[in-house]
């Protein structure tokens, strides 16, 4: 899976792409949909390079979903062409400054499924809701997921309004309808589906990579006081579907090839069933991708990092998510989005949600300026960041995934 496009020594004629701190070196080349700020221009497919964007309109690429439907061989060929166009020594072409662009969702998202692959998050939240039975029996046998709402997925920078919903206090006889007072974030990555599969035609675990296009940062905003009243017996609903924020950038699976690591499962745990397991899958199906949660309140001049985690802590792999989703014949389509679920690590400071960081709201977080938070207040800005780093390779970043909370209507 590694080739010359991963060579850390190759520089770009775009100076900002050679900055060690950039999210978008020549070795990344993430996709987005953009146009010039303050205009009604058509949205265009772009590729991030340093602090610039390469407009692909002149390349005959006008439909992101059609690009995502291409085979892995075709996608690698396009990556090679982009790399050769932007590497040092190649003739320079016109670029668009990212500072002058605005973004929309990178593609048409037909369906959205959110999984629950972070076992440390699952255990921590399970203890809050079910102290005697935190991890349900099926968790270690299949990737748990629920069907989300694609219409409420928004791009980074879009304000999010505090939701209202039914809340039932523990000592009340009946629920009340009110604005959520326990608004939370969830630190996730989103997997965009590439080529789909026909209805009734599942694929094997070793074929899953062909159906994976790339990753984006994803924040599955959650109303924790609405969630426990409504989620039984059918799972999340209004506590989740009022908004999901993603980064405007899709980092391709080809760019992330150097950061694959073996998929391992504790020997004392149930091992995956045969359709979710193979020697090839165990060899390299996980990824070493660092994840971070940042918070900026209206009174703070700069954001502060609340926690950091890593995709390596996921109990189920991206390939297992894809394979399981299609195992009953469900037809995935180009542009479908699969969320990983909250990826928390084993340590308290690796939690991917405020629910965990505050022990269910019992232990407020003290910020550097003396403010405290249990859950998000109006005016708070919550941001996610991610990057993949490995000696001998360029650092790959994912851009920003930010949202600010507005008061309920």
Q: Which residues are catalytic?
A: 121
Sequence-distant (≥ 6) Cβ neighbours of residue 1 within 8 angstroms: 254, 257, 260
Residue listed under structure tokens 């995502």: 68
Burial of 164 (0-12, 13-18, 19+ CB in 10 A): middle
Structure letter (DSSP) for residue 315:
S
Of 175, 298, 286, 270, which Cα lies nearest the Cα of 226?
A: 175
Distance CA 325, CA 113 (A): 9
Residue 244: CB partners within 8 Å, gap ≥ 6?
A: 112, 114, 148, 149, 152, 153, 154, 218, 219, 220, 221, 339
SS3 of the chain: helix, strand, coil, percent, to 5: 20, 30, 50
CB atoms near residue 322 (< 10 Å): 26
Non-local (6+) Cβ contacts of 324 within 8 A are 142, 143, 276, 316
């Amino acid at each position: 899976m590694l080739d010359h496009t991963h060579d850390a020594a190759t520089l770009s004629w775009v100076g900002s792409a050679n900055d060690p701190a950039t999210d978008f070196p020549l070795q990344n080349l993430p996709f987005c949909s953009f146009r010039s700020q303050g205009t009604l221009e058509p949205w265009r497919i772009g590729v991030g390079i340093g602090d610039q964007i390469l407009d692909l309109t002149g390349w005959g690429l006008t439909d992101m979903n059609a690009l995502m439907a291409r085979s892995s061989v075709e996608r690698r060929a396009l990556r090679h062409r982009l790399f050769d166009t932007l590497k040092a020594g190649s003739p320079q072409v016109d670029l668009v400054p990212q500072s002058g662009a605005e973004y929309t969702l990178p593609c048409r998202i037909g369906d959205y499924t959110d999984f629950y692959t972070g076992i440390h998050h699952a255990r921590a939240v399970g203890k809050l809701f079910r102290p005697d039975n935190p991890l349900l029996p099926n968790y270690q046998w299949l990737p748990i997921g629920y069907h989300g709402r694609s219409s409420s997925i928004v791009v980074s920078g879009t304000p999010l309004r505090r939701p209202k919903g039914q809340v039932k206090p523990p000592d009340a006889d009946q629920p009340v309808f009110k604005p959520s007072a326990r608004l939370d974030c969830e630190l996730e990555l989103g997997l965009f589906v590439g080529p789909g599969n026909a209805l009734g035609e599942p694929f094997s675990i070793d074929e899953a990579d062909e159906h994976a296009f790339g990753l984006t940062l994803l924040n599955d905003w959650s109303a924790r006081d609405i969630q426990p009243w409504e989620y039984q017996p059918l799972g999340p609903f209004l506590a989740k579907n009022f908004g999901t924020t993603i980064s405007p950038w899709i980092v391709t699976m080809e760019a992330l090839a150097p950061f694959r690591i073996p998929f391992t499962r504790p020997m004392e745990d149930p091992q995956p069933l045969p359709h979710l397991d193979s020697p090839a899958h165990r060899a390299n199906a996980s990824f070493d991708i660092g994840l971070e949660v940042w918070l900026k309140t209206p009174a703070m001049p700069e954001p502060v990092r609340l926690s950091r985690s890593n995709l390596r802590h996921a109990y189920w792999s991206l390939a297992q998510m894809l394979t399981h989703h299609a195992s009953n014949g469900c037809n995935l389509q180009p542009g479908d989005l699969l969320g990983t679920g909250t990826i928390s690590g084993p340590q308290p400071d690796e939690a991917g949600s405020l629910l965990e960081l505050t022990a269910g709201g019992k232990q407020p977080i003290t910020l550097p300026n003396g403010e405290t938070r249990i859950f998000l207040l109006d005016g708070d800005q919550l941001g996610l960041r991610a990057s993949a780093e490995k000696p001998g390779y360029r650092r790959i970043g994912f851009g920003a995934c930010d949202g600010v909370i507005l008061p309920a209507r």
